[in-house]
């Protein structure tokens, strides 16, 4: 799977009519601001980044920034939300092209797609798994909603698995949350322990471990 160059550009589609064309400039501007926010937070940490830093990185005026966001916190929350939503959309795209896959194939492709996204954009990987933890209660609440989306994703895989093999157990939401958290912990460890240039290979090297871990949880008795 080949990840897009920018998670934030992923949702900016070529306009199909003049109304969409009029809105494309706004979407592109927001994407550039979010991209800059992700890079800056990954480099310096959320607390150290200012609106002035973002404005300087994107080469826009403060007025332009505030036309899109109320302030630093809202910009960070949108960066996190949009990145996560577009990442999940890429995973769904990778699954959509498969022809009648069994659940194990869907699982592996899902994990490979997610790792490919993070390996291609390690700055957002840090935002997703590390920096969000220190960005305040609203960020943590947003993170909880994202984790719930991933739990739902694995719930769907579990249901597909049981449809193919009714002997498999029903897996509790607690187990699925532990699966999502365990995967995040392993990726976080790789980010913290690796030099920046080594992160992509370190993450890709986790793929088989993460797939085996997920298979073990999805086939275990709750």
Over its length of 222 residues, how does the chain's per-residue pLDDT go in tens digits?
Answer: 344 468 887 777 666 666 666 667 778 889 999 999 999 999 999 999 999 999 999 999 999 999 999 999 999 999 999 999 999 999 999 999 999 899 999 999 999 999 999 999 999 999 999 999 999 999 999 999 999 999 999 999 999 999 999 999 899 999 999 999 999 999 999 999 999 899 999 999 999 999 999 999 999 854
Q: How far apart are CA 87 and CA 118, in angstroms?
A: 9
CATH of domain 73-218: 1.10.357.10
Q: How far apart are CA 53 and CA 40, in angstroms?
A: 8
Token pair for 15: 């306009």
Q: How far apart are CA 184 and CA 189, in angstroms?
A: 9
Q: Give burial (CB, 10 Å; 0-12/13-18/19+) of 31.
A: buried
């Amino acid at each position: 799977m080949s990840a897009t160059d920018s998670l934030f550009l992923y949702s900016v589609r070529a306009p199909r009519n003049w109304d969409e064309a009029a809105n494309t400039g706004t979407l592109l501007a927001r994407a550039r601001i979010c991209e800059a926010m992700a890079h800056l937070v990954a480099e310096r940490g959320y607390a150290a980044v200012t609106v002035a830093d973002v404005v300087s990185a994107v080469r826009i005026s403060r007025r332009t920034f505030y036309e899109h966001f109320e302030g630093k916190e809202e910009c960070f929350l949108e960066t996190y939300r949009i990145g996560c939503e577009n990442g999940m959309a890429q995973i769904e795209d990778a699954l959509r092209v498969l022809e009648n896959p069994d659940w194990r194939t869907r699982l592996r492709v899902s994990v490979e797609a997610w790792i490919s996204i993070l390996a291609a954009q390690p700055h957002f990987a840090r935002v997703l798994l590390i920096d969000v933890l220190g960005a305040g209660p609203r960020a943590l609440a947003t993170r909880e909603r994202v984790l719930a989306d991933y739990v739902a994703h694995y719930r769907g895989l579990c249901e597909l698995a049981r449809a193919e093999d009714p002997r498999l157990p029903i897996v509790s939401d607690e187990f699925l949350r532990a699966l999502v958290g365990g995967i995040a912990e392993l990726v976080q460890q790789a980010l913290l322990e690796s030099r920046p240039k080594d992160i992509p290979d370190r993450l890709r090297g986790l793929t088989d471990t993460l797939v085996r871990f997920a298979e073990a949880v999805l086939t275990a008795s709750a």
